[in-house]
Structure 1
Amino acid sequence: MNRTLYTLLFHLGLPLVALRLFLRSRKAPAYARRIKERFAFGLPPMRQGGIWVHAVSVGESIAAAPMVRALLKAYPQQTITLTCMTPTGSERIQALFANEPRIQHCYLPYDLPWAAGRFLDHVRPRLGIIMETELWPNHIHQCARRGIPVVLANARLSERSARGYARFAGLTRPMLAEMNGFAVQTEAEAQRFRDLGARPECVTVTGSIKFDLTIDPQLPVQAAHLREQWQATARPVWIAASTHAGEDESILAAHRQLLASHPQALLILVPRHPERFDSVHELCRQQGFDTVRRSSGQPVTATTTVLLGDTMGELLFLYALADCAFVGGSLVPNGGHNLLEPAALGKPVLSGPHLFNFLEIAAMLRTAGALQQASDPAALAKAVQHLFEQPDQARRMAEAGLQVMKANQGALQRLLALIDRLVA
């Protein structure tokens, strides 16, 4: 497949795109809004020039935030245009940078040449930065036509994804060859990009900027204060965060087993997607758990067994409330989510077996003794129980995670050096 055929198929598939938007809007009404932006019509007024950063959704937006703040500091005269593809990503961007006048935001239009061209002509960036693995052939080609350099930042490419791209070499090789920089997390991933067509001189191993996560020192203080308000200072608390459909049942089964040995245990359950908040709440109630929704403002009491984290932008705070953390997307074959957020907060980290999105980071944490994996509810309950009953072991895991974070920091500065060369 080449880019011409890809573009033709994309146009033919637009009715399916519209249907998908409609179906998603039934669960998340925000998908029915700002549709014109997705085709580069009705874009808000924007200052031209500056740097364009694309972060597809919530996770990438959070990962990009330290880089964006560093760019604002490094280029005080430049505007930063932040784009995403999802309503939750848009909400996160607006919450993170609500008080920053040099940040402007819209959805990134679909990867149609005329839409990509309209967007770029509207914004006219000096440089484009795409987070992680969100590669769009027409957007990249339209940047190349306009002489706009493009960097793939914090780039990831699993072996499975590389095989998928290789099947469409006629599309992939020209696209990667048109890009100007790849800030890649590991050497293995760097070689995959080279094999697929990236120019070798453009590929740099910088590490993962997720190691450069900084924690507000007031966050643990605020969390400890809230647990005091709950009268839960001595109560065992664990969190299952970023869970996907099919995982919540397993998490609740593990919690039920845990309550048999620790009847005061509290689970903080945080679904990954906001459209699932109501259904997960109903699942908790159907299974007989005394559940409080974080969004309700109701206090957690001695009888509360589940706190449903149904708010946006509070995940780090919810991690800070817990004694140990399970990171979701890993009991189902989704590939896992960011293991470093709880590690940075000094929490022992648990996960399921499906971590193909974070293989290297998971290996680092596992080797250091900071990560334990559980493949089913019984194993998860046993792991959480062990951490509750062996505080010294929990402390050693937490300290090991912090050491891994400290040893691997510096990726952000290496990425900024690459960006600075291209901007110059």
Structure 2
Amino acid sequence: MLIVYNAIFAISLILFLPFILIKSLTDKRLRYRIIDRFWPKTIKKEDYILFHVSSFGEAKTILNIKDYFEKSLNRDIVFSVFTDTAHKFLNKEHAVLSPIDLYPLYFKMFRHPPKMALFFETEIWPSYIHFLKKRGVKLVLINARMSRSTYKTFKRFRFLFGTAIRQFDLVMAKSVTDSKKFKQFNPNTIVCGNIKQFKERRTAKSNTKSQFLIDSDKPILVLASFHIEEFDLAVRITSALSDVFFIVIAPRHLEDVQDLERELKKRGIDFTKRTAKQKPKDVLILDSMGELEDVYSISKACIIGGSFNEKLKGHNPIEPLVYNNFTICGPYMESFEEELNQLKALKLIEQVSSLDEILRALRKPRDVDASPYFKNLEYILNCYIINTKNILTKN
């Protein structure tokens, strides 16, 4: 079946290649190191552990725990990443851009296969997984999650994805719900919890506000990871609350910044872009990478994007809570359903469904102390590390 998959993939690629090349002329993300997608860089390192992630957020999570894994497994980590943003973020690390999922390309990528490969969350690439398994590499899926739509897809194409999932020596799921789905494909599945919940708080820099040229005494509200489908809501929130808060809007995708600018201008809202390096008055667009956590360290409240449109599934609410932000999310948080229920029970997050509810909550944002919650999360990291080490040393 893998041969059929690769044949269909190759034929589809040939048919769509002209479109891809034309599209890449105007799409920076698609154009980013496009040659590497078809002729990947070779990993020259030996005796290493491979971490494969997709997005910028996943890369941040793995980098946060990288040192723990390296120390425990006594080997260097090499990153394989799928998106341009993740690759740019990890450019100071050992990181390669993963190719399109054609089996022959991995011969070029791996001069020396890793001792173990850890795939993150939903990164199920049949050719990639089978290539490594064929070479005796220990395979682990960490923080495994499976949405309802993905579950339906995997069941429908069980002959392909089910076979790939069975190749993992161990699947460590982020929740009981996810583990039940994965167990239907691989009985070697356990629950460790959401590794994204494990987060060490950075010491806030004394000059963080001046770093962003913020000269306002108003508390800071962050609209974090808002998608283009949510820009209208972001603008309405900004229009209603800019007299109360200094507002930072962080678009999920930087290529959508121009659309956000247009929406703000329609409402007559003055704003400054972070990359302009100018002192903002009331609204700052965070059109830069890797600075959102710094903003959380000085903000009072946060609204989680990706949760106000039924096409989306929410984003991680943990990072703002590390810094005791009063945190709000929308009704669509499927990717973090169990974590959300836990946080709501502890009164650490509020879930709303309308602009009126957002405004009502933010007129008097309450103080939040999430430190007891985070002190109890070390067991999650330990679960991942101990079980990974057991697989590595298992004959």
Flag whether TM exceeds 0.5 (same fold): yes
Q: What one-letter code is carried by the residue in structure 1 that aligns with 2:380?
A: A
Counterpart in the other structure of 2:64: 66
Partners of 2:51 and 2:387 in 1: CA distance: 15
Query: In the alignment, which residue of structure 1 is the partner of 2:126?
Result: 137
2:303 corresponds to which residue? 326
- Partner of residue 152, structure 1: 141
Report the Cα distance in structure 1 between the residues aligned to 2:214 and 2:228, rounded to whole angstroms.
Answer: 29
Q: Which residue of 2 aligns with 1:223?
A: 208
For 1:262-281, what aligned pairs fall within 5 Å after superposition? Answer: 263-281=243-261
* 8 Å Cα contact 2:140/2:168 also seen in 1: yes
Check 1:24–1:369 CA distance in 2 against 1; reply closer, same or farther (3 A cut).
farther
CA apart distance, 1:352: 1.1
Question: Residue 147 of structure 1 aligns to which amino acid in structure 2?
Answer: G
| Cα distance change on mapping 1:139 and 1:231 into 2, 3 Å | closer
Task: State the match for 2:192 in structure 1.
Answer: 206
* Structure 1 match to 2:233: 250
CA distance in 1, matches of 2:274, 2:170: 42
Question: Structure 1 residues 25 and 415 mapped into 2: Cα distance closer, same or farther (>3 Å)?
Answer: farther
Residue 255 (structure 1) shift: 2.1
Q: Is this contact kept in 1: 2:326–2:348, CA < 8 A?
A: yes
Q: CA deviation at 1:138?
A: 1.1
Contact 1:80 1:104 in 2 (8 A): yes
CA distance in 2, matches of 1:419, 1:5: 32
Superposed displacement of residue 52, structure 1? 0.8
> SS state of the match for residue 175, structure 1?
helix
* Structure 1 residues 167 and 142, CA gap change in structure 2 (3 angstroms): same
List per-residue Cα deviations over 1:234-257 (Å, max 9, x = no partner). Answer: x13211010101211111112212
CA drift at 1:292: 0.9
Question: Quick check: 1:309–1:318 contact (8 Å CA) kept in 2?
Answer: no
State the 1:44 CA deviation: 4.9
Of 77, 80, 84, which residue of structure 1 is paired with 2:77?
80
**Preserved CA contact (<8 Å) 1:151 1:183:** yes
Change (3 A) 1:18 1:380: farther
Residues 320 and 345, structure 1, Cα contact 8 Å, conserved in 2:
yes
Distance of aligned partners of 1:370 and 1:10 in 2 relative to their CA distance in 1, 3 Å threshold: same
Structure 2's unaligned 5+ residue stretches are none
1:390 maps to none
C-alpha separation in 2, matches of 1:31 and 1:211: 31
- Counterpart in 2 of 1:36? 35
Secondary structure in 2 aligned to 1:82?
strand
Aligned alpha-carbon RMSD (Å): 2.1
CA contact under 8 A between 1:66 and 1:213: conserved in structure 2? yes
Q: Residue type of the partner of 1:9?
A: I
Aligned partner of 2:220 in structure 1 is 237
Distance 1:19 1:345, change over 3 A: farther
Q: In structure 1, what is the equivalent of residue 390 of structure 2?
A: 421
How far the C-alpha of 1:417 sits from its partner, in A, is: 1.1
Which residue does 2:103 correspond to in 1?
113
Q: Determine which of 324, 334, 344 is the counterpart of 1:366.
A: 344
Q: Distance in 2 between matches of 1:214 and 1:402?
A: 11
The 10-residue stretch of structure 1 (275-284 or 363-372) with the greater mean CA deviation from structure 2: 275-284
- Check 1:21–1:324 CA distance in 2 against 1; reply closer, same or farther (3 A cut): farther
- Confirm or deny that 1:299 pairs with 2:256: no
Cα distance change of structure 1 residues 45 and 369 upon mapping to structure 2, 3 Å threshold: closer
Tell me the secondary structure at the aligned position of residue 363 of structure 2: helix
Aligned residues: 391
User: What's the CA shift for 1:371?
Assistant: 1.2
1:164 pairs with one of 153, 164, 167? 153
Distance 1:7 1:217 in 2: 48
SS of 1:47's equivalent in the other structure is coil
Alpha carbons of 1:209 and 1:42: their partners in 2 closer, same or farther (altered >3 Å)? Answer: closer
* 1:245-296 Cα shifts (integer Å, max 9, x gaps): 121111111221234xxx2532100001111123322332332111011111
Aligned-partner SS, 2:128 = helix
Please give the alpha-carbon distance, in whole angstroms, between the structure 2 residues aligned to 1:239 and 1:157: 29
1:45 deviation in Å?
5.8
Local SS of the residue matching 2:297: helix
Between 11-20 and 154-163, the greater mean CA deviation after superposition: 11-20
State the SS of the aligned residue for 2:143: strand
| C-alpha distance in 1 between matches for 2:252 and 2:266 | 20
Query: Helix, strand or coil for the counterpart of 2:279?
Result: coil
Matched with 1:90 is 87
Task: Specify the SS of the correspondent of 2:149.
Answer: helix
Using the size of structure 1 for normalisation, the TM-score is 0.86
1:179 aligns to what SS in structure 2?
coil
Residues 75 and 189 of structure 1, relative CA distance in 2, 3 Å threshold: closer
Paired residue for 1:309? 286
**Alignment CA distance shift 1:247-1:297 (3 Å):** same
Deviations 1:103-150 (A, max 9, x none): 421111111111134323x24111101111110111111111111111
Where does the alignment leave 5 or more consecutive residues of structure 1 unmatched?
Answer: 388-393
Percent identity at matched positions?
Answer: 22
Structure 1 residue 173: Cα displacement: 2.2
Q: Secondary structure at the match of 2:290?
A: coil
When the two structures are superposed, what TM-score results if normalisation uses the length of structure 2? 0.92
Which of the two has greater helix per residue?
Answer: 1
Q: For the Cα contact (< 8 Å) 2:43–2:96, is it kept in 1?
A: no
Query: Once the 2 structures are TM-superposed, how far is the Cα of residue 372 of structure 1 from its aligned partner?
Result: 1.2
Return the offset for 1:225: 5.8
Of 36, 47, 50, 2:48 maps to: 50
Q: Partners of 1:75 and 1:172 in 2: how far apart?
A: 29
Are 1:211 and 1:409, in contact at CA under 8 Å, matched by a contact in 2?
A: no
**Secondary structure at the residue paired with 2:237?**
helix
Contact kept? 2:302, 2:326, Cα under 8 Å: yes
